[in-house]
Amino acid sequence: MTSQSAATLRSRYVEQAASDLEENHRRQRELAERIAVLKQEEALLADILKLAEQYEGFADSSRLPEQLQEEPVVGGAEQAIGGPRSRRSARTGTAPARTTAEAGAKGKSRRPLLGDLLVDLLGNSTEPRLAKELREELLAKHPDREPTPQVVRNTLESLVAKGRIQRHKQQRSVMYTLVVPGADG
């Protein structure tokens, strides 16, 4: 092996080592950023658990605070995050929602719960209704509310579980009616 080929080989090894080292540093930065995002998500989930524990004692779980349905969840936070509310706004890309106390402090009334709106719609009808029909009527009567079809179905199933409405299956369709208090079937 000549000294020139040895030098060429050595320079290739040096270049490869430098490239590998640079790639290693880049991956370390990516992993550090991912760890920071995961820590933020962990803190957010811990806050949610604390809130859930606060509401566990309520007898009527239908009065729990409603999740804002119009907030899209976007993965990853791009900025330094302070508290749980700013964490939410950084994750969703929207302004943080006001708490009930803040809404009351400004004299504004709280929006009705989706479940209550659906119960009202079912109360206005004597026939079983499809979830799709209920959602369409809800969108027509409450244009400020835009729950997805899945959210409407989940809310209806939650009301079935609480005994506030009944589910009726007809072939492949599922229909819902209001439970009439005092009526034994």
pLDDT in tens, 73-105: 444 444 444 444 444 444 445 445 544 444 444
Q: Which of 105, 135, 170 is the last residue of a domain?
A: 105
pLDDT value of residue 106: 52
Confidence grade of residue 118 (pLDDT, cut at 50, 70, 90):
very high
- Given the DSSP bridges, would you call strands 165-170 and 173-178 parallel, antiparallel or unpaired? antiparallel
Dmax over CA atoms of the chain, in Å, equals: 101
Amino acid residing at 49? L
Higher pLDDT residue, 184 or 37? Answer: 37
For the chain, what is the domain count? 2
Tell me, yes or no, whether 55 lies in a domain.
yes
Q: Which of 76, 105, 134 is the last residue of a domain?
A: 105
**Residues 159 and 120: beta-carbon distance below 8 Å:** no
Are 128 and 72 found together in one domain?
no
Are 86 and 162 found together in one domain?
no
**Residues 134 and 122: beta-carbon distance below 8 Å:** yes
In this structure, what DSSP letter does residue 111 have? P
Q: Which of 8-17, 41-50, 89-98, 162-171 has the lowest mean pLDDT?
A: 89-98
Are 14 and 92 found together in one domain?
yes
CA–CA gap between residue 140 and residue 138 (Å, rounded):
5
Q: Which of 88, 105, 122 is the last residue of a domain?
A: 105
Average pLDDT score, the chain: 78
Higher pLDDT residue, 10 or 66? Answer: 10
- State the alpha helices, DSSP H only, in 56-126: 84-92, 100-105, 114-123
Token pair, residue 65, equals: 């605070």
Domain that holds residue 51: 3-105
Which helix (H) or strand (E) segment holds residue 177: the answer is strand 173-178
Are 156 and 81 found together in one domain?
no
pLDDT digits (tens, 9 = 90+) for 120-172: 999 988 899 999 999 999 999 999 999 999 999 999 999 999 999 999 998 88
Are 78 and 21 found together in one domain?
yes
This prediction has a pTM of 0.42
